[in-house]
Amino acid sequence: MPAVATNLDACCGCQSCNVCPVAAISYDGESKVVISSECVGCGSCMGACPCGVIEMQ
């Protein structure tokens, strides 16, 4: 299951999700969090996000 940014309005830009072992998630100031197809579904970014933005789907 890949990570999906489901609640981008809640993203505060803290960049705590920048823990990805394969560099599949990135924060960009405008559209905020972008998750690429490289995601291997480890769940680390979901666990690191304090705002509940990321889900595994």
Q: Which is nearer to ligand SF4, 31 or 41 (CB)?
A: 41
Among residues 54, 55, 38, the alpha carbon closest in space to that of 16 is found at: 54
Residue 4 near residue 52, CB atoms below 8 Å: no
Cβ of residue 9: shortest distance to ligand SF4, in angstroms?
10
CB of 52 to ligand SF4, least distance (A): 8
d(CA 28, CA 41): 21
Contacts with ligand SF4 by CB under 6 A lie at: 3, 11-17, 19-20, 22, 24-25, 27, 33, 35, 39-45, 48-49, 51, 53-54
